[in-house]
Amino acid sequence: MTVQTLVGASIPGAPGRTVEVYDFQRPTTLGRDQMRTLTLAFDNFARQWGTQLTAMTHVLARADVESIEVERYGEFADGLPETTAMMLIGVEGMTSQAILQLAPEVALAWVGRMLGGNGVLVPPVRMFTAIEAAVIGRLTDYVIEDLTYSLGDQLSGYLTVAETQYNPQMAQAMRAGDFAIVVRFSVYVGDAVDEATLAFPIEALAPREARTDTAAGDHDRLIGALETAPVTIALQLEPAIVGPGDILGLSVGDLLRLPHPQYRPLNVTVDGVAVARAAVGTSGSRLACVIVNLEE
């Protein structure tokens, strides 16, 4: 099983230290501790799910977690087949929904076993009948029970079965730019092995207390890092705008008119941005400046 969140790389000449690569297109908004907690929770859910499938399909079954990733919902939906079975799961207090995704033929094979068949289907694959949808709804109910038990206080609200969709572009469980925690499973039922996916709105697996604490901690760490970051400070005159010909024609003794008035204090700049004005002075044997006003 892999947990894909951050990539660590060794720093040359600094044994024992690593640098974490941060992808602004796919930010990791879950802390390491919470990701570890979710990993244990989904492993526990996979074991319970396998037990439920064994009891319902009457053959030995198990589920293994393959990966846990943070993805944009749009990317997740675009990666699904054009036709697939998506059981939408409502989350209390949220407009976004979680998703249990299976290939339709996989779900129908499980239904066949649950109704006493051998689980072998003849193509073409079709949408569920009313009876099949009811059986799969029952299966989803068990999934919700196991998820609720396994995730515990990681869940921000109760889960309920909403509906089944077959087109990822029509499901609209979340907005395309929203981040989701996507858990991929390998599910073994009898001799068959198939893939299944759970996708949760990231807020659904980050209780309000945890989100508040994490946000406050991130803010404090950001302020602490900014306060110690090195910057370049300079004392400057207002710049003059000239053409390339003026620069190429310069010679010793030429005068350049600067737009900075003689009576006006100089600009104090940080990385080229004016933040204050100051008068020139000295401090011991070195030049210094005295701040006379700050820029908004």
Give me the pLDDT at residue 259, please. Answer: 86
Residue 122, pLDDT above cutoff 70: no
> Where is pLDDT greater, at 107 or 31?
107
pLDDT digits (tens, 9 = 90+) for 176-187: 888 899 999 999
pLDDT digits (tens, 9 = 90+) for 198-224: 999 888 886 544 444 555 566 677 777
Using a pLDDT cut of 70, give the percent of the chain over it: 83
Comparing 67-81, 98-112, 126-140, which segment has the lowest mean pLDDT? 126-140
- Region 5-14 average pLDDT: 48
Residue 111, pLDDT above cutoff 90: no
Burial 224-261 (b: 16+ CB within 10 A, else e): eeeeeeeeeeebeeeeeeeeeeeeeeeeeeeeeeeeee
Q: Are 279 and 292 in contact (CB under 8 A)?
A: yes
Give me the pLDDT at residue 126, please. Answer: 72
Give me the pLDDT at residue 14, please. Answer: 54
Q: What's the half-sphere exposure (Cβ side, CA atoms, 13 Å) at 137?
A: 13
Q: 30: which DSSP letter?
A: S
pLDDT digits (tens, 9 = 90+) for 40-88: 999 999 999 999 999 988 899 999 999 998 888 989 998 898 888 999 9
Q: Name 263's Cβ contacts closer than 8 Å, sequence gap at least 6.
A: none
What residue ranges define each of the domains in the chain, with the CATH number in brackets? 28-212 (3.40.1550.10), 231-294 (2.30.330.10)
